[in-house]
Amino acid sequence: SRMAESLRLFDSICNNNWFINTSLILFLNKKDLLADKIRRIPLTVCFSEYKGQNTYEEAAVYIQRQFEDLNRNKETKEIYSHFTCATDTSNIQFVFDAVTDVIIQ
**pTM for this entry:** 0.85
Average pLDDT over residues 86-105: 73
Residue-wise pLDDT for 67-95, tens only, equals 999 999 999 899 999 898 878 777 677 77
Query: How distant, in Å, are the alpha carbons of 32, 49, 57, 95, 97 from that of 44?
Result: 19, 7, 15, 29, 34
> Lowest-confidence range among 5-9, 62-66, 89-93?
89-93
Name the binding residues.
29-32, 86
Q: Classify domain 2-104 at the CATH class level.
A: alpha beta
Name the binding residues for GTP.
29-32, 86
pLDDT at 102: 67
CA distance 18 to 27: 20
